[in-house]
Every structure is written in C-alpha cells, then in structure tokens.
Amino acid sequence: NGSAMVHASGGTAPYSYSWNTNPVQTSHMATGLSAGTYLATVMDVDSCIDTLSVIITRNPDPVAKFGNTTVCNNTATQFTDSSSTSAGNINTWSWNFGDASPLNTTQSPSHLYASAGNYSVTLMAYNNFGCADTITKAVQVYYNPVAGFTYSNVCLGDTMYFTNASSVHNSTSIASYLWAFGDGSPNSSLPNPVHYYSGPGTYNATLVTTTTDVCSHVANNSVKAFDAPGSAFTFSDICLLDSAMFTNTTTSPTMGSTASWSWDFGDGSPLNTTLLSPHHLYVTPGNYRVTLTTYSSNLACPDTLSDSITVFPMPVANFSFTNVCLNQAMNFNDLSTVTSGTIASRSWNFGDGTSPNGNPNPSHIYVNPGTYTVTLIVTTNNSCKDTIIKSVVVHPLPVAQFSRVNVCDGSVIPFTDLSTILSTDNIQSWAWNLDDGSPVFNNQNPQHLYANAGSYQVQLLIASNFGCLDSITKISIVNPNPVVDFTSNDTAGCEPLCISFVDSSSIATGANNIAWSWNVGDGSPVSNLEDPVHCFINDSVYSPVSYDVTLTVASDSGCVSTLSKNNYITVYPKPNAGFTVQPEVTTITDPIISIKDLSTGVYYWNWNFGDGSASITAGLDTSTVFGPADHTYQDTSTYTITLITSTQYNCIDTAYQTIIIEPDFMFYIPNAFTPNDDGINDFFSGKGTFVGIYEMAIFDRWGNLIFSSNDITKPWDGKANKGTVIAQGDVYIYSIKITDFKKRKYIYKGIVTLVR
C-alpha cells in the first residue's frame, strides 16, 4: 500500500527519524511511496545514528463493486459483491450499511434496516496483497403502509360497519385495499365496506393495504355476530290469591349466556327484571297477556315471547257452630260462597286428630275438653280453595270429688270439696246430701255432727259456670269408741313388784280394739302391749309408794278412750343387805373372821356362816344395824356367809360373802434310810402337806442320775437303773422340786446316806 515503518531499539530516547523521500518524511512511518528503495535514518539524543534500507514493491489495487435489492420496510436488503482485482484475489470485505450498525465482513451479506429511508452503503474490498478499494452507493428502503380498521360487533341480523384506519408515510401513498370478511363471502375493495353475517359466530376480518411502491400490510380482527337467547316459559292457570308460577325455559344463545330478562305480567304491574322464574299475585280474576323478553350477555341481544293466563275467582269459606259440654255432639253448618262457578267439595278438620270429614253440615263428638281449631277447606269446580279457621270450645265436665274424715262417735265430720275442672272454666254451685235426713247443704265445705255411729251415703252434686254437671257418692263412717277397763294379778307387794296387767276393754260389734297404751305412773316408757307385765321399784327404803295406772285404748278405726286408776299399785321398800369380812383369806392357824354389818332399812337379820354352826337371828324395832363381831372356823375350806334381812312389810334382801381357810404348808426330808426290807425306814422321799407338783432326782457322787420320781407316793427304794441294780451303801445327792397348792415353787438339794 506504499507505506514503510522503522522502529528504534537501542541508544537513548528520544529518537529522530528521516526518510530520503521527496519531500523528506520525519516520522517513523513513511507513506505514499511508489515502488523503489528508500533509506531511513534514526538518531538518538546522543547523535548516534543508524541507517536502514527499505525496498518497496508496488502491487495492483482491487476494484470495489456491489449490487443490492430494493425492498420494503421490515424486509432484509440483499447485497451482492462484484469486486475484482488484476492480480491475486480478493479475500476481505468490510461493509458499512450507513445505519450505525456494526461493520459486516461477509462477502454478500443481507441486512434488515430498522426503518425505511435512504442509506449510504460503503464497501471496502481487500486483495491478498493487502491492497484495498472503496465504493459508496445510495440504497433505498420503501415505507410500508399501516393497515388498520375499526368495527362494532353486532347482534345477529344487524349490519356490521367497517371503518378503514390505514396510514402510510408521506413519501408514498396507498394504492389499493382488499377486504376478506371470514365467512366465505366475496372480498371487497371498498375503503369502508358494510357486511351482513348470516349466522352467529366469531369471524376473522382481514384488510390488506398496498402502497404505490407495492409495499403491503395486513390487519386482522376477530369480529362477532352474537345470537339472542330463545325466550320460552311455562305456567298454569291459577286461582285468585294464588301466586302464578312462571318457569323460565329460555334456551341460552350459542355465544355467551342469557344475561337478563324482563317480565310483563299484563296487569299494569311494574316489569320484573330480577327473578328468572318469578311468582306473581294477581289482584282480580281475568285473562292476562304475559310477555317475556330475554337478553344475551353479549350486546344484550333480545328475544320476546307472549302467552295468555287465566285467573279464576276464589270462594269464601265460612261456617257456624255452638259450643258444647264434653260428650255432647257439636253441629257445624257450612256457609261458604263463590261469585262464579260452584263449590265442588268440602274438607272439615275438627282439630282433634280425627280424619277429615267431607259432609256439608257435619256433627262431631270430642273425646276431651278444650279449645279446638276447626278448619274448613272449600274447593270450587276450578280447583280454587279457601280456608277458614275458627276456635270451638268443648267445655270440660267438672270432676266431683271430696274428702271426709271417718270420725269417732261425738265428733264433727268436716267435708272438704276437692272437685276440679280445667282452668278455662270454674265450679259455681254445690249440693250436699248427707243421708241422715238433714237439709241439703249448698256451701262448698260443710261440717256435720251425726247423732249416732254408723255408715252414711254422702252425695255431692256440682255444676260449672257453663252448666256442665258431675256428682259423686261416698260412704262416711262414724265409728264407735272403745269402753276401757283393766285388772291386774296384784295391787301391792315388795319391790321389785312385777304386776301382770290384763286389758278387759270392749267395743261395739263390727269394730276391734287394736292398740293399747299403758302409763304405769313411775316414769317408765309407755307400753303398747295388750297385757303387759311391769316391775315397780321403791327407792324410799322405809316408806311404801303408790302409783296411778292409766290405760288408753284405740280401735281399728282410730277411736280412742282412756281409763285411769289412782293409787292402784302400792310398792313396799326392800331392805338393803350388806356386810364386810376381814380377812377374806386366812390359814387354819388363824381361823378368826371379823364381820361388820352394812345393811340399811332392816328390821330383821338372819346370819348363816356356812360351817354348820347355828344361824344367828335377831330383830329390832329400830333402824340400828346388827351383826356378830367375829366368827372362828374349825377346819380348812371355802365358806359362804349369808345374811338375810327383812322389813316389817316382810320384804327380804340377802347378801353373801365367801371366805377361804387355808392349811399351812409343811415339808420334811430325812438324811438317811436303810432299805433292808425290815419294814422300818426302807424308803427315801420327802414328806409334806398340800404338795401339788413333785419331782425327785437321785445322783451318785459322780453326778450320774440313778433314780427319779414324779409321784410323792413312789419313794426311792435303794435301787438304781430302774430297779435293776441294788445301790451300795454310800452318800447320795438328791434334788427335790415341789409346787404347793398356791402354785408356789420350792427347790431342795442335799445328801442322803444309804445304810446297808
């Protein structure tokens, strides 16, 4: 390309350069050189110089050239390289598209411009020698039109209007329009066409707009022709005062749904636009034209249907009756009417759970009193019904009842009315027949004293405020009283005085005495036995005491009579015998017993000492005690001393004391014996009195047991080893254990000499 460059790497910077070109170039690079040899001189700051010879060879330049397509906006422009070179070949390209996009090194690129307009495009072509050529050309991108249109969706059967809204850059103009309506109908080239769709649906409407530069643009829109609902409804002719029920059976449109509706009931009432299937109440009978208009959810496309309904007149139900007492028949009379047509049937409901009655004028007997709701339903020949409800009253019967007390002869009988009637009514009159010839009583709760005991038929008749009656008869009894009397097996005696009482009471025939109450006057609990036994006590010691006895007898009807006998029982005091002895236990060696009398209330004493000695009997006319000072026993034994005391009323008391005279304990052990069968001192044993348990053991001098006995009557006979060996004369050791009659234990140990 006619350029040369030198680089300094030694010496001291900075450097200066000089090329022998014409004119001289003083840069490290020389340019614009033709073919030839060139000298480059480099000098550093120290004036040191170096020289380089550069040979330039000149190659041929290429010829840059290209072609391009003419396009509409949004279409890529195709560039075609047609550059050439006289020697070598072109191997590098550099494209500048004139729109600030990056350089492109493709040989024949395509390029999409962002917008329409005129662009300067430059191509730089390089051959394999590094030689280049540049060409710049003007390239045009045509403007596209902007197709567009407006429209309004329609209800089926309406015309759709299309308004063209296409535009284009002012450098060109729109040459033509082409419309396709999406339903297979012929295309239109009008700028603003109208169109009629024959069926509901969504259609793709297309507008193609073309400029004079033959650039086109397409606009599409989905347009809709909405169908309306299919209005329909059902109903039935009705009776006046019944609501007409309209059932909406409208079919939904194929596009969307039924969104709203409007009902015109033909009677001048406001339109109903809220209920899908409304009820409507007509105020007068007649024929009415009913119109239903329904609207779709899309554009409110409407559909309308009309039909005629008949409203029949209502009957007027009515009846008459008269209230009754319970168990009486109540008569009902139908008074119902109707302005046109006839009353075809009746249904009576008497309000008591019985089956309905269809008679025009029925009668009915209620089984319970009370207020009942009677309903009459009348039906016309057009099936129109009317109902009337009335309350009827079945007055309750009073329930006659009274209480009376069966009394004893001489007592007044109170009669208490217990009659009842339901709270809706009240009892107003009473009539009492007491069955003894006395006048009828008209007060509510009379009292009466019968002259004699007996049984009476008492009748009560009552009447309510409505005149309902009831009566009841009961037996009233006046019972006889018992006749009280009693006897006893005795009336006086010493304490404790036990008396058998005998009831001898009586009562009139037909009644029985069943309860007794005895009060014997001494503060003891009452006895309810018929013939009790009671023991009386006298605590006064010296004086007799008298008691009042009272018997109360009750009959089986509760009648009670009482008899008292004053001072009926006399109880004499009993003496209190008592004494002490000292000592209670002694031995035969000191057998004297001292006695002290402690008796009170005594007039006579009788002593017995239990040893066969003569009893001592004494008597005084004062209260001074008496008794022996002491008594001597002659033998050992257990003795009972008995004291019998008596009063001047021959009342007796006895006291006892037991004493024991014991023997003295004695025991003797010999120190030698001679078992030679001469009958003298042949045995060895302890001897004593009142010995209980006895144990004797004999040991030789070496401690060997040679004899033992548990019986004081079996002494040692001088033999050893259970009588098989005769013991030699010697000194032996004994051990004797005894227990006396008082359970006292003694142990004796010692030696005994056996002499042969």
Position 623 scores a pLDDT of 40
Q: Is the pLDDT of residue 204 over 90?
A: yes
Alpha-carbon distance of 137 to 139, in angstroms, equals: 6
Query: What is the helix (H) or strand (E) element at residue 306, kind and residue range?
Result: strand 302-312
DSSP 158: S
pLDDT single digits (tens) 34-49: 777 889 888 888 888 8
Q: pLDDT of 3-14, one tens digit each?
A: 777 777 777 778
**CA atoms 440, 446, 450, 455: torsion sign:** positive
pLDDT at 720 over 70: yes
Polymer length of the chain:
756
* Cα dist from 237 to 30, 242, 290, 409, whole Å: 118, 10, 12, 86
Ranges of H-type helices in 86-172: none
Higher pLDDT, residue 527 or 621: 527
pLDDT band at 56 (very low <50, low <70, confident <90, very high): confident
In order of 212, 489, 507, 513, 520, the CA distances from 551 in angstroms are: 155, 16, 15, 13, 8
Task: Give the mean model confidence (pLDDT) for residues 225-246.
Answer: 95
Q: Work out the average pLDDT over 1-26.
A: 80
CA distance 520 to 536: 9
pLDDT of res. 450: 94
pLDDT, one tens digit per residue, over 639-680 is 999 999 898 888 999 999 999 887 776 778 999 999 998 989
CA nearest neighbour of 145 among 175, 119, 189: 175
Whole-number pLDDT of residue 599: 87
425-457 tens-digit pLDDT? 999 999 999 999 999 999 999 999 999 989 999
Query: Exposed (0-12), middle (13-18) or buried (19+): which is 224, by Cβ within 10 Å?
Result: buried
| Mean pLDDT in residue range 205-228 | 96
Give the pLDDT band (50/70/90) at residue 621. very low
Sequential DSSP letters for 670-731 = -SEE--SSSSSS--B--EEESEEEEEEEEE-TTS-EEEEES-TTS-B-SEETTTTEEPPSEE
Residue 478: band (very low, low, confident or very high) from pLDDT cuts 50, 70, 90: very high
- The DSSP annotation for 603-652 comes to SEEEEE-SSSPPPEEEE-SSS-----SEEE--S-EEEEEEEEEE-TT--E
Cα 23 from Cα 27, distance rounded (Å): 12
* Percent residues over pLDDT 70 in the chain: 98
Q: What is the number of other CB atoms lying within 10 angstroms of the CB of residue 95?
A: 23
Give per-residue pLDDT as tens, 506-560.
Answer: 999 889 999 999 999 999 999 999 999 999 999 887 889 999 999 999 999 899 9
Question: Binning pLDDT at 50, 70 and 90, where does residue 704 land?
Answer: very high
Q: Can you tell me the distance from the alpha carbon of 509 to that of 363, in angstroms, rounded to the nearest whole number?
A: 58
347 forms bridges with which residues in the sheet?
Answer: 377
> Is the separation of the CB atoms in 521 and 486 below 8 Å?
no
Which amino acid makes up residue 260? S
- Give the Cα separation of 232 and 303 in Å (integer): 9
Tokens in use for 582? Answer: 């000292």
Place 356 in a pLDDT band, splitting at 50, 70 and 90. Answer: very high
C-beta separation of 62 from 125 below 8 A? yes
- How far is 403 from 254, CA to CA, in rounded Å? 90
Contact predicate 754/719, CB 8 Å: no
Q: How far apart are CA 662 and CA 375, in angstroms?
A: 118
Regarding beta strands 691-699 and 705-709, do their DSSP bridges make them parallel or antiparallel, or are they unpaired?
antiparallel
The Cα–Cα gap between 615 and 635 comes to 18
Looking at residue 351, what DSSP letter applies? Answer: S
Q: Which of 87, 25, 24 is nearest to 57 (CA)?
A: 87
| Of residues 18 and 154, more confidently modeled | 154
3-class secondary structure, 424: coil
pLDDT in tens, 357-400: 999 999 999 999 999 999 999 999 999 999 999 999 999 999 99
| pLDDT at 19 > cutoff 60 | yes
Burial class of 312 by CB neighbour count within 10 A (0 to 12, 13 to 18, 19+): buried
- Give the tens place of pLDDT for each residue, 311-353: 999 999 999 999 999 999 999 999 999 998 899 999 999 999 9
Q: Given a cut of 70, is residue 584 above it in pLDDT?
A: yes
* pLDDT bucket at 1, cuts 50 / 70 / 90: low
Which two tokens mark 50? 């170096």
Q: Which residues partner with 62 through β-bridges? A: 85
Q: Look up residue 232 and give its two tokens.
A: 């329909």
